[in-house]
């Protein structure tokens, strides 16, 4: 039988510099891309990782609010408990697993994932199974040059069955992604499993051209701003 158990998130309002970078990056997104997908089905249940690379995507820096670092765990989800949207048999779990087709939902604050190059979008399927009342939120963030460029999120409350959502970022150009938990329940952690993580990677040499343009626009906006101070 599945087992389960988010802090408020504050993303600063976009500054003019952040907006300039975003405009430059989004305007340059019409380049060829290579779709990467991680569905975890080639791995074995019970494997655990601090850093996991599969399907060309690197998963790293998974943490909880209360306990610091945790780990990624491969979990068999073939019992049918998750319903539609699953690529059988495996999902990405956190902090542990239950042998066989039954499964465990692990609590996290956040984890990050990246590809070898910048990307035009990313997304994932996520199932939540919250064990206590409280409106929590999961947010997929897309970063470029250390700035949050775009986010997509959904909120959920206590439920006797898992809640499934697909999160996909708007088209842009990104160099890192983060799934982030916030809210009052369970000390801030959300109990989840994840599947079908996709990244639309921008092949080189387009990667360097895109970032050069974006950073050039950012530097130009900064010079103009200083002249008007």
**Residue ranges with strand state E in 31-89:** 34-38, 48-49, 52-54, 57-64, 68-69, 72-76
Give pLDDT tens digits for 121-163. 999 999 999 989 999 999 999 999 999 999 999 999 999 999 9
Render the burial of 195-211: b for 16+ CB within 10 Å, e for the rest: bbbbbbbbeeebbeebb
Task: Assess contact for 136 and 143: CB atoms under 8 A.
Answer: no
Tens of pLDDT, residues 64-98: 998 877 999 999 999 999 998 899 999 999 999 99
Confidence band of 34 (pLDDT split at 50, 70, 90):
confident
Q: Domain residue spans in the chain?
A: 34-201
CA–CA distance, 207 with 86 (Å, rounded to integer): 32
When pLDDT is averaged across residues 30-49 and rounded to a whole number, the result is 87
Q: What is the CATH number of domain 34-201?
A: 2.60.120
pTM recorded for the entire structure: 0.81
Separation of alpha carbons 24 and 11, rounded Å: 21
Counting residues of the chain whose pLDDT is more than 70, the rounded percentage is 74
Q: Round to whole Å and give the CA distance between 57 and 152.
A: 20
DSSP assignment letter at 26: H
Work out the pLDDT band at 216, boundaries 50, 70, 90: low
- In DSSP notation, 113-174 reads EE-SS-EEEEEEEEEE--SS-S-EEEEEEEEETTEEEEEEEEEE---SS-EEEEEEPPSS-B
């Amino acid at each position: 039988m599945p087992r389960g158990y988010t802090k408020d998130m504050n993303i600063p309002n976009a500054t003019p510099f952040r907006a300039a970078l975003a405009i430059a990056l989004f305007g340059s997104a019409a380049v060829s891309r290579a779709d990467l997908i991680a569905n975890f089905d080639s791995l074995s249940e019970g494997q655990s990782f601090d850093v996991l690379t599969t399907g060309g995507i690197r998963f790293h820096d998974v943490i909880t609010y209360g306990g610091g670092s945790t780990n990624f765990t491969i979990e068999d989800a073939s019992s049918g408990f998750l319903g539609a949207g699953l690529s059988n048999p495996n999902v990405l779990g956190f902090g542990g697993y239950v042998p066989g087709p039954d499964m465990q939902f692990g609590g996290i604050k956040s984890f990050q994932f990246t590809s070898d190059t910048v990307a035009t979008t990313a997304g994932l399927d996520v199932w939540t199974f919250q064990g206590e009342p409280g409106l929590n939120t999961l947010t997929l963030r897309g970063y470029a040059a250390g700035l949050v460029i775009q986010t997509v999120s959904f909120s959920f409350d206590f439920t006797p069955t898992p809640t499934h959502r697909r999160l996909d970022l708007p088209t842009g150009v990104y160099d890192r992604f983060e799934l982030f938990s916030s809210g009052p329940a369970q000390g801030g952690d959300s109990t989840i499993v994840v599947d079908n993580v996709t990244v639309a990677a921008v092949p080189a040499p387009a990667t360097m051209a895109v970032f050069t343009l974006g950073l050039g626009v950012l530097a130009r906006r900064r010079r103009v701003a200083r002249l008007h101070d």
